[in-house]
Every structure is written in C-alpha cells, then in structure tokens.
Chains A and B, each alone.
Chain A
C-alpha cells in the first residue's frame, strides 16, 4: 500500500515518511502532480503559516490534483497540523482561502478571564476525548496522549465531522473525519506509540 506524503516545502516530512514505514506501509514523499496522481493514500503534513502553505500548493500545481484525488476518487487522506487547517475554508492566520473540503474555519486561540494566563501556542502533550468510533482510533491505547504545537485551531460547522476534542482553555477539535478524509491537529509523528497507532490505522484502512 503506497502512501504519498506531500512535500510542499512546509517543514521536515522525514519523520512522517519513516513512521509510515515503521507502521508497515510503503511511503514516498512527492511534490509533483504526476506522483500524487498515483497515490493510494495521501498525507498532507505541514508546519508554518497558512498562506504560505496554500501559496506553495498553488505554485507547485498541486491543488487540482489533490482535489480530484480526495473529492472525486475518495482517496484516503490524512492532514496533520497545518495540513488539517488547510482543509478548512479560511484561517484567521491568513487572507487566502483554504482548500475548503470541510465545512470549517481556522481561528486563533483567544484566552481571557480565568484562562488569560494560558500561553499561545498550545505546545506540549495533551489528552484527547474521542467523540465517536473511528477506524483512526481502532485499538488505541487507554488514555492516549499526543504532542501539539499550534496557535490556531479548527472550528467545525458540522459537529458530525468532529472525531475528538482536546481541552486547552476551551474544548477544541483535535481530530476530524469526513468520509475518507481524516485530520489531526496533533503530530502523530511526534507522539511515539500513540501516534504510531494512528498511522498504523490510517495505513491499514
């Protein structure tokens, strides 16, 4: 099963490629439409600013091929961190529209009152509250923890898309699923055995 990890210049994707391999999948990084065309599964990772991410996808000519794969062919895709946010319609971090594949927007953490001392970004290990059964969390360890680094989070307009929430001042969406589209705000590739289980489940879909 070949998993294509999209390399669009937003951070080091090496640990994701390696984790997919450790999970028993065949992983290749790719940055051209031709390579992405052949994907059986896709991972859209990403660390960095929203507009840079969209601009890079556009400049590399990847938006159309990704849309065709994900929306028309329903190729499973996993968005990670910025990748998840790019699936939404917009972000307060930038002015460009997102890919708009899910009915959601990306907003900045804003804390006041009793939460005013909470720092942004939310950085560190945190728990998730799984909202509904999903193949992504099949056979997950008890009380799993995941590693987060983000200043923005996704707000879903369709509650049915929410897969898990995490408490940081508020309950925000830490993972979502719409059909065969999955996304995590946390970094599975930085969350050792818990992250490996998520990647194994994605590879095994």
Chain B
C-alpha cells in the first residue's frame, strides 16, 4: 500500500511478491510498515509477517501496532531485526525505555511523523487520532534518544508520496539535536534526494517508498531499486564516512 500525505492509499501489490522483488534488487534493509494496524487498534499480523520473513533475504524492520514487549520479542523470534515504534512512543514514551532495555537499543527504532501546522511549524503528528500535537519534532527526538531509542525514523507527512524531495530543514533540525542515526523518510523522488538528505540534512540513512514503486506521471506500479553502483556514486558525494543504508518501504 502506498499513500500520499498519509491518505489515498493505493494498493501496489501483494507484500510477499514485493519482498521477492526486493530480494533480487539487493536491498540493504527492508522496512515493513502496517499503516493501519494502530488505527485499527490491532496488533501486528504475525502469521503474515512470519510468511514474509521466510521470503526475505535481507535484514528487516517492522512497524505497526507494536504495543508490548511480547509483540517485540515475537517479531525478533520470527526473524525481524528491528522493531519500529510509532503510536505507542507518542502515547507512552516510557515504552521505548522498556523495549530498549529488554531488547537492546540497536533493535528499537522510534518513529516520528511530522506535519506542518497552520503557521508552517513542523509538529509531531498523531496518525492514530489524525491530528497534530503540540510537540516539536526536535524535542521529541531528543526525549526518545534519552529513553534509549537506537534510531529515529523521521517521516514528513506533508511530503509522503509526493516525490518532491525530503523536508531538509526538518531532517537537519533533528539530526543536529541527536547523536543516534536518523532515517529520513517522506518525499524521495529522485536519486539526488537521497544525497541531499545525507549531505545537507545529515541523515544517516534514507528510506523511500513511492520512488521504488511508482513510475512516470501516471504513477504506474513497477517495483524497482536503483542499481548499486549508481546508488554508491550518488551517495558517495554526500560526505560522511559511513555508507548510508537504504530501505525499501513496501
């Protein structure tokens, strides 16, 4: 499923088939987000995730409806390396602390959705209730880092699915405030957007969804992934000594 600004979901295909395609594209890490799980009030769909995990020849992260240590442990046992916590981090930030001390910081990714308010200020967005909060993304990221999050996935709702480039001001503001890796999400439309997020935003990693699945102005569905050497070349000009990871988002 792919959305535009978290709305108008388009079905882009069966997740297992998508994972098989990403296998052949040598994706460095695959992040699966069940965008409806929390809104439905449902937990992770373990049988489906187990099926997907059996097909994936790459490290995997999962986000969507993770609300307990039991959920997190079950995800690790079926073959996921990272768990992404979004709604629950907003409701009960202390859950990040519980999860990271029980499972290790390296496997806990705190995800922050950001939407601009009426005055154009980025504010943490509560996607379960469908409304913005008064929290500044920068302060919230610092708090989640203190609680033990191993990474921050920073998603711009305004850019989601628009393929108009990352919100570099947002990426920069958060990256300057925390020491843990920040994954820029929302808006990638060109290979250069990856480079800019790393070079100008300071992101440690970049993620994209639409960029990998839609082609042409009619948004035809065709799952692709940039050629390795092309990616390396573009990202090498981004500076920094660490090779940024890329994640396909299916």
Which residues from chain A sit less than 8 Å from chain B, CB to CB? 11-12, 14-15, 17-19, 22, 47, 119, 121, 123-125, 147, 149, 189-193, 195-196
Q: Report the Cα distance A47→B107, complex, angstroms.
A: 14
Q: How large is the interface on B (under 10, 10 to 19, 20 to 34, 35 or more residues)?
A: 20 to 34
Which of B27, B53, B58, B76 lies at the interface centre, i.e. has the most chain A CB atoms within 10 A of its CB? Answer: B58
Q: Report the Cα distance A12→B78, complex, angstroms.
A: 5
Interface residues of B in 57-109 (CB under 8 A from A): 57-59, 76-79, 81, 104-107
A195 proximity list for chain B (CB < 8 A): 57
Contact B79 A15 (CB under 8 A): yes
* Given A125-B28, A192-B58, A193-B26, A14 and B81 contact (CB-CB distance below 8 Å): no
**What is the chain A residue whose CB lies nearest that of B26?**
A192
* Given A121-B106, A125-B28, A192-B26, A14 and B58 contact (CB-CB distance below 8 Å): no
B79 proximity list for chain A (CB < 8 A): 11-12, 14-15
Nearest chain A CB to B215 CB, angstrom units: 23
Per-residue CB contact flags for chain B residues 100-124 toward chain A (1 = under 8 Å, else 0) read 0000111100000000000000000
Per-residue CB contact flags for chain B residues 211-250 toward chain A (1 = under 8 Å, else 0) read 0000000000000000000000000000000010100000
Q: Can you report 16 A-B residue pairs in the complex whose CB atoms are below 8 A from each other?
A: A12-B54, A12-B79, A14-B79, A15-B54, A15-B79, A18-B57, A19-B57, A121-B106, A125-B243, A190-B59, A190-B81, A191-B57, A192-B23, A192-B26, A192-B58, A193-B26
Contact B77 A190 (CB under 8 A): no
B77 proximity list for chain A (CB < 8 A): 11-12, 47
Q: B56 interface residue, CB < 8 Å from A? A: yes
A11 proximity list for chain B (CB < 8 A): 77, 79
Q: B50 interface residue, CB < 8 Å from A? A: yes
Q: Report the Cα distance A121→B82, complex, angstroms.
A: 13
Q: Report the Cα distance A191→B27, complex, angstroms.
A: 9
A125 proximity list for chain B (CB < 8 A): 28, 243, 245
Q: B55 interface residue, CB < 8 Å from A? A: yes
Q: Report the Cα distance A189→B60, complex, angstroms.
A: 12
Shortest Cβ-Cβ A-B pairs, 4 listed: A14-B54, A12-B79, A123-B106, A192-B26
Contact B56 A15 (CB under 8 A): yes
Q: Report the Cα distance A191→B57, complex, angstroms.
A: 6
B50 proximity list for chain A (CB < 8 A): 12, 14
B76 proximity list for chain A (CB < 8 A): 47
Nearest chain A CB to B103 CB, angstrom units: 11
**What is the chain A residue whose CB lies nearest that of B25?**
A192
Q: Report the Cα distance A47→B78, complex, angstroms.
A: 10
**What is the chain B residue whose CB lies nearest that of A195?**
B57
* 7 new A-B contacts at CB < 8 Å, known A14-B50, A22-B57, A125-B243: A14-B53, A14-B79, A17-B54, A18-B54, A149-B81, A190-B58, A193-B26
**What is the chain A residue whose CB lies nearest that of B228?**
A193
* Given A15-B53, A192-B26, A147 and B58 contact (CB-CB distance below 8 Å): yes
Contact A192 B27 (CB under 8 A): yes
B26 proximity list for chain A (CB < 8 A): 192-193
Q: Report the Cα distance A11→B74, complex, angstroms.
A: 10
- Which one of B54, B56, B81 lies within 8 Å of A123 (CB-CB)? B81
Q: Report the Cα distance A35→B76, complex, angstroms.
A: 27
Contact B53 A12 (CB under 8 A): yes
Nearest chain B CB to A76 CB, angstrom units: 21
Nearest chain B CB to A199 CB, angstrom units: 10
- Which one of B27, B55, B58, B104 lies within 8 Å of A18 (CB-CB)? B55
**What is the chain A residue whose CB lies nearest that of B179?**
A117
Nearest chain A CB to B83 CB, angstrom units: 13
Nearest chain A CB to B44 CB, angstrom units: 14
A121 proximity list for chain B (CB < 8 A): 104, 106
**What is the chain B residue whose CB lies nearest that of A121?**
B106
A12 proximity list for chain B (CB < 8 A): 50, 53-54, 77-79
Which of A17, A18, A192, A195 lies at the interface centre, i.e. has the most chain B CB atoms within 10 A of its CB? Answer: A192
Nearest chain B CB to A185 CB, angstrom units: 15
